[in-house]
Amino acid sequence: MSAIIIGLLAVPLAGAAVLLLLTRPARLLRWYGPAVSGVTLVLALVLAGSFDYGRAARAQFEIDHAWIPGLDLRFHLGVDGVSLPLVVLTALLTFLCFLYLVRHRPEGGRSGALAFTLLVLEVGMIGTFLALDLLLFFVFFEIVLIPMYFVIAIWGGKERRGAAVKFILYTLLGSAVLLLGLLLIWAHTGTLDMVRLAGAHGAGIPRAAQILAFLAVGAGLAVKAPMWPLHTWLPAAHTEAPTVGSVLLAGVLLKMGTYGFVRIAIPVLPEGAAVLAPWLGAFAVVGIVYGSLACLAQRDLKRMIAYSSVGHMGFVLLGLATLTPVGMNAALFGNIAHGLITGLLFFVAGAIKERYGTSEMSRLGGGMLARLPYLGSLLTFACVASLGLPGLAGFWGEMLALLGAFHPAPGLSRPLFLVFMVVGGIGTVLTAAYFLLMLSRVTHGRPDEPVPRLGDVSPYELAAWTPLVVLTVALGLWPKALLAVTDPAVRAFLGAP
Amino acid sequence: MTQSIDYAAIAPPLILAVAAGLVLLLDAFLPRTPRTLPTLGLVTLAGVLAALAAVVAQAARGARPRTFCVPADAAGGRPSCSFVVDDLTLVFGAVVLATAVVVVLLSWTQLAEGGIPAGEWYFLLLCTLTGAVTLPASRDLIMLVVALELVSLPVFALTALKRYDARGSEAALKLFLVSVISTAVMLFGVSLLYGLTGAVHLDRVAARLGGSPPAAQLASLPAGVPSGVLTVAVVLVLAGFAFKVAAVPFHFWAGDVYQGAPVPVAALLSVISKAAGFAGLIVVLTIALAGHAALWAPIVAVLAVLTMTVGNLLALRQRHAVRLLAWSSVAQSGYILAPLGVAGKSAASASIAYLAIYAAMNAGAFAVVMLVSRTRERDELDDYRGLAFRSPAAALALAFFLICLAGLPPGLAGLFAKVVVFREIVHGGLGWLAVVLAVNTVIGLYYYIAWTARLFAPAPLPVPGRGVPTRPVTIAVAVALLVSLAFSVAPQLVLSAVR
């Protein structure tokens, strides 16, 4: 069965390699991306189907080969309850992006090159979630940088050059610090095996080294997540990236940061986590409030969604900071929910930009529900899901994160986390405020000025978006489906019963 | 006293020296026909490949011969040898000669343009290579200095060989002055070492200086060795080598010389001559001065920090391709120096591993620059706009080399090289050095990625080529690419080579 794991990486990689050799015909090329990513998605679903949910805490389908003995680097892959949902999410979002691209090509042409870039990106993203070796994780973590840089720099908007450079410099600085942290762990434990490290719960690493390593690893991951105040690359990158770039950036790349906290920083360095968790929590709630306030001030739809990501990832980080199973589960749930909902939001925002030629809210005018009823409804649905309406996926991640803050792990200051909870609660209200304000401006009212007729949602868009809508509703109504998968692994990481 | 000579041990430099003589003779006596130029090139290439084969054979045999030995002195111990073939020698030999293949192929195209006498060129090139292969095997101070001079002297001539080229002459003069000064400085240091110990063989120098590696404190010196003099000697020797590897503050010549010299010579300077410098540095520091790591390690660490930072900052502002590579290779020197700054057990092997990987990717980058500079007179970075559409293969290769140099996937070779260096430093406990290195990696990334992005940017008008044969350069690019890819997939090749 471990062939599936290899296949998840090999199929997109081989697909990209074939694309290098392939020249034309364009018609064939059009369906090439969806086909390759479709096969990957099927593999991911087969993986999910054959996963032993009774042993979700353990890594399954493991592959472990020595790669570079000189660096202790092993080609060690596997999947457990924490990584499985993210792998499926990645495969799904990539497939949907390709489906969307069949009809909706970004400016800049060169669809073959775009398909190549996205497939390499997929290798990096899936590999990050599968890796069970610290250095291998780092390698995959880095692989996504160059493709994403080109997605923004070639197919992006007007200010793409600056945004792409900012993106890659910020994240690379983060990665360099992350690498130092990982090597510090290695220097003290002598192993890079994540399974063994997580099982050891920090044994063998002195307290001071744990704090230092958590600081380095955490800072590196926090850039990616992004955590306030390291988020400043995000709005620019999101605004300038093409639709598929934004979807994958928000849907998957940001998750790599928080996933790293769950997988590496917290289980491997428990003492460091205990010392720095209050800071993490503080930055998280500042991020929540800051993100919401920044959203209120935005005029550009895509930029607003980008800032809303800062807020939502704030909830995820708050969940992590509690160091409790509830909080960690909330974080993982919030990850998936944010991936689905924000993915949908960016798809819809991209569609709006494509039709109106702008995503400035003031120039969109009102009355979208009247002019483009389906698109308007989908925008409304995505916003409502994002602001955390009970019954939709966005609700559980935020609610459980606040619940986790109500009962933080023993050893953490409860009053402090109660304050965080209250501030986070205010954040949810602000989140609702900006989304509703935006909806009232864009979807309601009458169309201001006569504009040429615009086509409503196309079949390809519908095909790409329906799975996201369905999953958002399904996870909202039945959150246990996901929580049951992540919970055993989270408890094992925390050493909790 | 007669010494027995182990010809198998000295085969690589011997083959190169014979080939050099042969080239000179052929050039003098062959009739001038259109076939002469390729013949000389082929002889040179054959010489380099034969030397490489000799190195590989030595490595495969597993024996580590020593030759030019003097019997043990009265104090007892083992006989001391001037020429020792060990892992370090073999790795440096392989790196130098593999890069030499690329340089010879680049020269092929350079010479086809005319204006340069081919016989002299190949002769000088082979002389440099002879020195570069001998240097890592040298285990006495005199041989070290002679080998280093053998590397340096022909390079001035190579730089100036292009007739009526003012820039080339200026570069040669600068290189000459810098090199002479550095040799003088180093000779002074070497003579102080000799004066302190009365020995020229490195192992005897180490024995007389005392101290046992790794020394946490300044090793206690035997009576009669004033510590002040030793410090001066160490600093002078370090400064001499620092010139050779273009370490800051002895770096200022790099930009002008690289730009003024023909591209193959720039490649030679940035890889082969640098490798020779590092070989000498590593040999002196880890053998002769092994017991006094506490004395030189901090100096090297500071040198490394300065070198990488200044090199990167200078590279940041360049608009000329070769100049950018010049300063970036200064910065890379800093990364190679860094592990020596912690003086751990495996510091030398980390440096050597980085150097080997750096050699492959930097030689490759120069090869592509050579290819592009055939069609573009100015060779500015903006000339690389749209290369991906004009010649996709060259653009992809250059992109790969640059990303390797930056140390990002898919350029895994560069990434692993950086990881090795980082690991060495973190393990040695020099946290601040690791942080400086991390910041520098990011600075370096900026200009590498900016150049890479230009390759894929929309192109200006296409410019017709100048009708110079570029097939040898294409082969050179392919060789470098294959080696870099091999290092990416299996960096074990170099990591396990040096223990």
pLDDT at residue number B215: 39
Three-state DSSP class for B394?
helix
Identify whether the C-beta of residue B192 lies closer than 8 Å to the C-beta of residue B235: no
CB contact under 8 A, A183 and B403: no
- Residue A70 is nearest to which of B412, B442, B492, comparing CB atoms? B492
Written as one string, the DSSP assignment of A28-91 is HHHHHHHHHHHHHHHHHHHHHHH--GGGTTS-EEEEEEEEEGGGTEEEEEEE-TTHHHHHHHHH
CA distance B126 to chain A (A): 34
Helix orientation angle between A145-155 and A111-130, rounded to the nearest 10 degrees? 150
Tell whether the model's pLDDT for residue B38 goes beyond 50.
yes
Query: Distance between CA atoms of B374 and B183, rounded to whole angstroms?
Result: 35
Query: What is the average pLDDT across B274-284?
Result: 91
CA distance B99 to chain A (A): 24
Identify whether the C-beta of residue A328 lies closer than 8 Å to the C-beta of residue A266: yes
Query: What is the average pLDDT across A38-51?
Result: 89
Higher pLDDT, B294 or B73: B294
Element (H, E) at A441: helix A414-442
What DSSP character marks residue A409?
A: P
Q: How many domains does chain A have?
A: 1
Cβ-based contacts of B416 with chain A (< 8 Å): 68, 71
Tell whether the model's pLDDT for residue B152 goes beyond 70.
yes
Any CB–CB contact under 8 A between B453 and chain A? yes
Query: Distance between CA atoms of A177 and A219, rounded to whole angstroms?
Result: 7
Query: Distance between CA atoms of A249 and A237, rounded to whole angstroms?
Result: 9
Q: What angle do CA B189, B190, B192 make, to 5 degrees?
A: 65
pLDDT at residue number B222: 59
Cβ-based contacts of B412 with chain A (< 8 Å): 139
Any CB–CB contact under 8 A between B114 and chain A? no
Cβ-based contacts of A140 with chain B (< 8 Å): 409
Higher pLDDT, A347 or A56: A347
β-bridge mates for residue B380, sequence order: B320
CB contact under 8 A, B419 and A168: no
Helix orientation angle between B471-489 and B347-373, rounded to the nearest 10 degrees? 150
Query: Distance between CA atoms of B154 and B161, rounded to whole angstroms?
Result: 10
Amino acid in position A135: L
Any CB–CB contact under 8 A between A168 and chain B? yes
What percent of chain B clears pLDDT 90, i.e. is strictly above it? 27
pLDDT at residue number A368: 78
- Which residues are CB-neighbours of B135 under 8 A, at least 6 positions away? B92, B144, B147, B148, B151, B276, B279, B280, B283
Tell whether the model's pLDDT for residue A91 goes beyond 60.
yes
- Residue A180 is nearest to which of B420, B426, B492, comparing CB atoms? B426
pLDDT at residue number B271: 92
Query: What is the average pLDDT across B433-444?
Result: 87
Helix orientation angle between B347-373 and B321-342, rounded to the nearest 10 degrees? 180
- Residue B422 is nearest to which of A69, A180, A212, comparing CB atoms? A180
The residue range of the domain holding A153 is 2-494
Query: What is the average pLDDT across A67-92?
Result: 87
Query: What is the average pLDDT across A266-293?
Result: 90
For chains A and B, CB pairs below 8 A equal 87
Cβ burial, residue A293 (10 Å; 0-12/13-18/19+) = middle
Q: Give the residue ranges of DSSP H helices in B34-117.
A: 36-61, 87-112
Interface confidence, given as ipTM, is 0.79
pLDDT in tens, A117-131: 899 999 999 999 999
Among A168, A212, A223, the residue to mutate for chain B (most B Cβ within 10 A): A168
- In this prediction, residue A450 has a pLDDT band, given cuts at 50, 70 and 90, of low
- In this prediction, residue A448 has a pLDDT band, given cuts at 50, 70 and 90, of low
Query: What is the average pLDDT across A291-318?
Result: 89
As a whole number of Å, the CA-based R_g of chain B is: 22
Tell whether the model's pLDDT for residue A433 goes beyond 70.
yes
pTM exceeds 0.90 for this model: no
- Residue A135 is nearest to which of B419, B434, B450, comparing CB atoms? B419
Q: Which of A132-146, A374-388, B218-232, B376-390 has the lowest mean pLDDT?
A: B218-232
- Residue B409 is nearest to which of A142, A150, A176, comparing CB atoms? A142
- In this prediction, residue B113 has a pLDDT band, given cuts at 50, 70 and 90, of confident
CB contact under 8 A, B446 and A179: no
Q: Which of A354-358, B138-142, B474-478 has the lowest mean pLDDT?
A: A354-358
Q: Which of B61-75, B445-459, B462-476, B480-494 has the lowest mean pLDDT?
A: B462-476
Identify whether the C-beta of residue A149 lies closer than 8 Å to the C-beta of residue A161: no
Query: Distance between CA atoms of A59 and A55, rounded to whole angstroms?
Result: 8
Tell whether the model's pLDDT for residue B134 goes beyond 90.
yes
pLDDT at residue number A27: 63
β-bridge mates for residue A133, sequence order: A193
What DSSP character marks residue B380?
A: B
Taking only residues 319 to 378 of chain B, the set having a beta carbon closer than 8 angstroms to any beta carbon of chain A reads 353
Average pLDDT, chain A: 86
β-bridge mates for residue A77, sequence order: A63, A131
- In this prediction, residue B1 has a pLDDT band, given cuts at 50, 70 and 90, of low
pLDDT at residue number B377: 65
CB contact under 8 A, B419 and A183: yes
CB contact under 8 A, B490 and A180: no
Query: Distance between CA atoms of A71 and A182, rounded to whole angstroms?
Result: 13
Query: What is the average pLDDT across B124-144?
Result: 92
Any CB–CB contact under 8 A between A436 and chain B? no
What percent of chain A clears pLDDT 90, i.e. is strictly above it? 17
Any CB–CB contact under 8 A between B387 and chain A? no
Question: Which has the closest alpha carbon to A291: A269, A323, A318?
Answer: A318
Tell whether the model's pLDDT for residue B251 goes beyond 70.
yes
- In this prediction, residue B216 has a pLDDT band, given cuts at 50, 70 and 90, of very low
pLDDT in tens, A234-264: 888 888 888 888 899 888 998 899 999 988 8
Cβ-based contacts of B431 with chain A (< 8 Å): 212
Q: Which residue of B has its CA nearest to A216?
A: B435
pLDDT at residue number B125: 93
Query: Distance between CA atoms of B350 and B340, rounded to whole angstroms?
Result: 8
Any CB–CB contact under 8 A between A426 and chain B? no
User: What token pair was written down for A17?
Assistant: 């390699």
Four-point Cα dihedral A356, A360, A361, A363, nearest 10: -60
- In this prediction, residue B459 has a pLDDT band, given cuts at 50, 70 and 90, of low
Which sign, positive or negative, has the C-alpha torsion A290, A296, A298, A302?
positive
β-bridge mates for residue A79, sequence order: A60
Cβ-based contacts of A135 with chain B (< 8 Å): 419
